[in-house]
Chain A
Amino acid sequence: MPVSAASPFYNQEHEDFRAQVRRFVEREIVPHIERWEAAEELPRELHRKAADAGLLQIGFPERAGGVEVPDLFYMIVLTEELARAGSGGLIASLMSHGIATPPICHTGSAEQIARFAAPVLAGEKIGALAITEPSGGSDVAALKTRAVRDGEHYLVNGSKTFITSGMRADYITCAVRTGGEGMGGISLLVIEAGTPGFSRSPLQKMGWWASDTASLYFQDCRVPVANRIGAENMGFMAIMMNFNQERIMLATQAWAFAKVCYEDSLIYARERQTFGKPLIRNQVIRHKLADMKMRLDAVKAHLDILAWRVSHKQMPVAEVCLLKNHACTALEWIANEAMQILGGAGYLRGSRVERIYRETKVLTIGGGSLEIMKDLAGKQMGY
């Protein structure tokens, strides 16, 4: 039977969904993104609009007000289209519930889902995930923020840092130490903004400007025991459960931003005249573009096959770690070449390539750094 589809993984429904996201991005995001980058945060209104358009809910269970999808390709399409605005901070912050809310949906009670997940998926509240601490992020099992039981409350002391959407978040899914050392002593608490003893301050960054990244401080912060997600000292598993999907989505971002770099430099190479002819008429430039395309396609094939496996409930942990590294390092390489093709124009504020170039590094650091991903993959494969 002759096959005309370009991929076995995407059908008409994915494309119909893509058209809607594209329209949303063109209408609601692109005209404003420079302003939000300068303001270093997104307006809450955007979360409501994105929920009204049905974008925040994709991939979450129906009982939380989500939209269940048969595969991860819907989320890949969503990320690919959001990336066209050329702002990593936009995706990180608008979608911070993508890391904050899954533990609540997987492990939380019906009441917790109604209180802490549903309003976030409806765009009325903002969620953040707080794991990293000033003393370290890679070694999650060593986190220090303490929560000591005091009747029907925990008394929380400690701090978190680099927290995406941390300034605006209403509900913070926070990893705390309730037990002894190591991963067996960690619990998850939802800490609500406004809880006495909780304060925060903004952090300024190289990229991801549109995302409000914060340090959070807890000083004798009283959090109801009812806000604990899952059993005491069982928080580590709830955190880890979402890592596969988070890493696939970070790989998707890396690929999608690399694609923007490739497309922008291709357009520029065709239009820019140097030495009396279009830039693209130089073999050196064509080779750059071909090498960019080769890496893009390799990452996409890698991404799609693993997204397919995870969609079918497989847990290819080592492979997903290596995919994240593959995608992020390809982005670094492609953004670098794109910047070179654009020349001075690429170095100026307002060019998508300029911003993406500044934002490559966060993807090799966050959600499991390059080194940690390699180590974890190696361990998983019994090296």
Chain B
Amino acid sequence: MKAIVSVKRVVDYNVRIQVKPDGSGVVTDGVKMSMNPFDEIAMEEAVRLKEKGKITEIIAVTIGGAKNEETLRTALAFGATKAIHIKDEGEVQPLTAARALAAVFKKEGASLLIAGKQAIDDDANQTGQMVAALLDIAQATFAGKVDVDGNKATVVREVDAGLETLEVDLPAVITADLRLNEPRYLKLPDIMKAKRIPIEATTLADLGVTAAAAVKTVKTVPPPSRSKGVMVKTVDDLVAALKAKGLA
């Protein structure tokens, strides 16, 4: 059984994000980039499923420019058995990514797509759901626990009201939430071995996918800087202060 794991290259979570002066986006030149942390969790889950013998192959897929190779190398160091680089230098919107992933999913005859629930750059939280819709297969998003047995997956989801357990038929899409697992530390020999594994290259055109232009970014602005806090002396003062702000 094959699982696809989508891995996105994003600005490292430790980097203090800077907005470009013209508001056209955030600065990425010379900035440390890493695999999206939710995708690391997805990778880890796939590797654990493989170690338990529930799946046999893990195909890591990324969409983006030449530098995305680094992200695939990380996936291979985790234990991906194959890596596919969909080369594209342009902006990749969620729908484009979903179309491309759906095409790879079909081509590879995969049973599972395990994705991060969102990427920490645009926080769109759309791609996994769109892949499920495009392929008309089941989806279990925000997974906090995953079990695969034969042709079914049992997924405990983190929802607003608490935990919800879903049983889905495969093929299916699962998106990983923060508490699904703690990704392992990649060992140096695995990092070194990963450098020597060939990567399969393809393009959106090869996959018969057209890039979507569903979203237009108008302007990027930094969040307002936090204003100074005030100290209150009593609970009554606190309630009054919250009321004055319309929060209570």
A interface list, Cβ under 8 A from B: 12-13, 16-17, 19-20, 23-24, 52-54, 58, 67, 69, 74
Contact = CB atoms under 8 A, between A and B. Distances in A.
A19 B192 contact: no
Chain A interface, >50% SS class: helix
Contact of B189 (A19, A52, A67): A67
Contacts of B213: none
A12 B191 CA distance: 10
Contact of A58 (B70, B77, B186, B188): B188
Given A12-B70, A13-B195, A16-B73, A52 B188 contact: no
Nearest to A24: B185
B186 A20 contact: yes
Nearest to A4: B30
A17 B185 CA distance: 9
Of listed A19, A53, A67, residue having the most chain B CB within 10 A: A19
A44 B195 CA distance: 33
Interface in B169-223: 185-189, 191-192, 195
Interface of B: 34, 70, 73-74, 77, 185-189, 191-192, 195
Given A12-B73, A67-B189, A69-B188, 4 more contacts: A16-B77, A16-B191, A58-B188, A67-B188
A54 B188 contact: yes
A13 B73 CA distance: 10
Contact of A74 (B73, B74, B188, B195): B188
Contacts of A52: 185
B147 to A, nearest CB: 24
A17 B195 CA distance: 13
Contacts of A67: 187-189
Contacts of B74: 16
13 contacts: A12-B70, A13-B195, A16-B73, A16-B74, A20-B186, A20-B187, A53-B187, A54-B187, A54-B189, A58-B188, A67-B187, A67-B188, A74-B188
Contact of A54 (B34, B73, B185, B195): B185
A13 B185 contact: no
B189 A17 contact: no
A16 B74 CA distance: 8
